[in-house]
Amino acid sequence: MELGILFMLLLSTLFLSGANSATFTVTNNCPFTIWPATLTGGGTSESISTGFELSSKASLPLNISPPWSGRFWARSGCSTDASGKLVCATGDCASGQVPCNGAGGTPPVSLVEFTLASNNGQDFYDVSLVDGFNLPVSVTPQGGSGDCKASSCPNDVNHVCPPEFSIKGSDGSVIACKSACLALNKPEYCCSGAFATPDKCPPNTYSKIFKDQCPQAYSYAYDDKTSTFTCSGGANYSITFCP
């Protein structure tokens, strides 16, 4: 009898553990192959895939157990060089492999950032162009309670990127756009030094280019009011590149 109760408790624990994990469905809606990647900033899901190949129109579900914080992005224009290393035109994490193995993407790159709360608490998420832009992306909660609004950067910022901020591909087309901080490396654009508070670092001419194209996304470091979103109750999330 005692063994039976112990077995039932074990099953209950396993069920609750699975129920508390969040499913992230990553979809490639771009007309070309991409290589999505993840970077864990904190939490328990160290076993989450750090990189994978995703052909056009394909999707891949990833299960993440809260509490967890981290980011998603996508590499593009990847190929294997003469030494057998994977090299990507945008978002490269320099691992030389499909998995990024704990390395972040090289800016400029569009990011989806998360902080997942434990016990069905309040999750925080955003789309960020603080590190620049390479691909349009959206994040949509599924289930949950509270605001749970979708956030996205649906437009191709590369089409309006200032020439001095542009990263060009082998065919001469713009494949990524640097942020003002990355391109100019000045405190007033990076919100650092004497400009390290919201009142001293307002939107600038360059951040407004990003904001006009993607009103819901972070366009610079202190763009919190219009760019941070929340959802409670153990939601799942859909992340779509080229939504």
Task: Print pLDDT tens along the chain (243 aa).
Answer: 443 433 333 333 333 334 478 999 999 999 999 999 999 997 665 568 999 999 999 999 999 999 999 999 999 999 999 999 999 999 999 999 999 999 999 999 999 999 999 888 999 999 999 999 999 999 999 999 999 999 999 999 999 999 999 999 999 999 999 999 999 999 999 999 999 999 999 999 999 999 999 999 999 999 999 999 999 999 999 999 999
Q: What does the block give as tokens for 27?
A: 């979809």
pLDDT value of residue 120: 86
**Nearest Cα to Cα of residue 65 among 138, 117, 13:** 117
Domain hosting 124: range is: 23-241
In a domain, 154, yes or no: yes
In a domain, 47, yes or no: yes
In a domain, 41, yes or no: yes
In a domain, 18, yes or no: no
Is the preceding omega at residue 108 within 30 degrees of 0, hence cis?
A: yes
pLDDT value of residue 119: 86
Q: What does the block give as tokens for 116?
A: 């997942």
In a domain, 120, yes or no: yes
How far apart are alpha carbons 90 and 30 in whole angstroms?
Answer: 14
In a domain, 8, yes or no: no
pLDDT value of residue 20: 77
pTM of the model: 0.89
**Nearest Cα to Cα of residue 110 among 13, 243, 7:** 243
Number of domains composing the chain: 1
Cα distances from 100 to residues 78, 88, 177, 191, in angstroms, run 13, 12, 22, 28
Distant-in-sequence, close-in-space partners of 209: CB < 8 Å, separation ≥ 6: 157, 160, 161, 162
Q: What angle do CA 158, 160, 163 make, to 5 degrees?
A: 85
pLDDT value of residue 118: 87
Q: Within 13 Å, how many C-alpha atoms sit on residue 3's CB side?
A: 0
pLDDT value of residue 168: 97
The CATH number of residue 227's host domain is 2.60.110.10
In a domain, 10, yes or no: no
In a domain, 108, yes or no: yes
Q: Which residue has the tokens 């069905």?
A: 120
Residue 104 backbone class (left: φ over 0; alpha: ψ -120 to 50; beta: rest): beta
Question: What torsion, rounded to 10 degrees, do the Cα atoms 92, 96, 100, 103 define?
Answer: -70
pLDDT value of residue 197: 97
Q: Which residue has the tokens 């995703």?
A: 54
